[in-house]
Structure 1
Amino acid sequence: MSTYYESLHPATLYPEAFHVAAPAVPVGRAVWPRQPGVFIRAAQSAGAQETAAIEVAAEAAEVTEITAAADVDQPAREALVRELVAGQFGLVPRWVKSASDAKLRSTKLVNARSETVTTSNNFRDAWLGGQRCIVPMMAFMEDDWRSGKAVPTRIARVDGKPMGVAGLWESWTGADGEVIVSYTLLTVNANSHALMSRYQQPGNEKRMVAILNEGAADAWLSARPEKAREFMRAYPANWLTANPVEKKS
């Protein structure tokens, strides 16, 4: 379970890696549950006809992405407009009744199991509603328990480039009009993963965040729910590196 991650730095990486403007308000380097972060989604201003056209183009591009880590077709990339949105890390489901309840639940909803999103009361509405997003990060953190003690470990791409993790977003409105925009990271099974099977507590199922292949962003954001599951795959171990986090004395 990835409970915190490292945001993009410097801010110029947002437009370079994800073709979105840098955050208006700087994001803290370490993003923990209930803290502010950012995510990327398809722009919400698109009309019904434009959205339908995007879905058709993106589904054509999925064939390429699903079989190889290649870029999507040019028409799909041009059709979809992305936007960077500020939100709380830790999803707040629509059915939550109060802001205090939202705060309690969101700390436990930073990860969503991809296998159960259609049956989970917490994530079903966001998944079926197509509220998918990409969470940009430099690395995510996991605990290494092999020594008998939890050793925080930084998992990043071998090439040092930013990674986009598949997620879900939600917008909750309270009775008093308070609005909380939030997001969660989707995870997949990693029991047989050459790298990620080493981490997290012994005896528990191993999980890892669903890292998207380069070029898959628009297809992931625009795919219909039944197609979106095809993006839920473990990222290759040889494309990742793990290093213990040094504690400051």
Structure 2
Amino acid sequence: MTSQYECLRPDHLYRDIFDVDAPIDTAVGRQVWPRRPGVFIRNPPAPPSGEGAEHPTPGAIERELVVGQFGLVPPWVKSASDAKLRSTKLVNARSETASTSNNFRGAWLGAQRCIVPMMAFQVDDLRSGKAVPTRVARVDGKPMGVAGLWECWTGAQGGVIASFCLLTVNANSHALMHRYGQPGSEKRMLAILNEGSYGAWLNAAHPEKAREFMRAYPAEGLTANPIEKKPSAA
């Protein structure tokens, strides 16, 4: 499971790579982990029937960047406190079962797809018998756009929580990512999108069409390095 990643730096990469402006919310830090604020990119939701102008065609939709909690909050959650408890376990969604999972089905079938921009993500290397935090990034140093799902939960008292999760795919035969995760368990990796497919992923008209994007990113395009611990203060 990937539960921590790095946001984009410098800020101009949001516009250069993803055609959105950088976040201005100061709560979004360099590192994102469960229940912390992060950002995701989506097509603006269609207005309710009869409200506003006719929804534009997919090619005319301007993407928007949204600040939300990392860790999905399903719409059926009853309280904000319950949302906090559940969201820490809902940072990753298995793409193979997203359409049937009680937690992710609504977002998957409702085409609530998003792109989560990041410079790198963290996994644990457990081959030595202890967890070695490892940074995975693109070999060329460019940002990654990871496929995700988003939700907007509204509580009985009117509280609203925008949230998102990262989609994952099987990595048992992946030349790089098969090294990580619990020994003896299925290996998983984030569904990293090709740069040229960002618009197609967001605009996929049917859930089954969206499944075509759920594939492992080429191992030769990624690099993994142990994260050096900073020396403790004297």
TM-score (norm 1): 0.88
Give structure 2 stretches of 5+ with no counterpart.
Answer: none
Alignment RMSD: 1.3
By relative contact order (CA 8 Å, sep 6+), the higher-ranking structure is 1
Match of 1:71 in 2: none
- AA in 1 matched with 2:24: A
Give structure 1 stretches of 5+ with no counterpart.
Answer: 55-75
Is 1:247 the equivalent of 2:194?
no
Distance in 2 of aligned mates of 1:136 and 1:29: 12
Match of 2:198 in 1: 217
Distance in 2 of aligned mates of 1:50 and 1:207: 37
SS of the equivalent of 2:42 reads strand
Match of 1:235 in 2: 217
Shift of 1:200: 1.0
Match of 1:127 in 2: 108
1:129-208 equivalences in 2 (<5 Å): 129-208=110-189
Distance in 1 of aligned mates of 2:44 and 2:55: 11
Deviation string, structure 1 residues 20-79 (Cα, Å, up to 9, x no partner): 01101142111000000000001235778545x32xxxxxxxxxxxxxxxxxxxxx4xx2
Distance in 1 of aligned mates of 2:98 and 2:19: 28
Distance in 1 of aligned mates of 2:46 and 2:165: 22
- AA in 2 matched with 1:216: S
Distance in 1 of aligned mates of 2:194 and 2:55: 25
Distance in 2 of aligned mates of 1:120 and 1:43: 24
Match of 1:34 in 2: 35
Shift of 1:238: 0.1
- AA in 2 matched with 1:17: I
The 4+ residue runs of structure 1 with deviation greater than 3 A are 45-51
Q: Is the 8 A contact 1:80 1:218 kept in 2?
A: no
Among all aligned residue pairs of Structure 1 and Structure 2, give the percentage whose two residues are the same amino acid.
74
TM-score (norm 2): 0.93
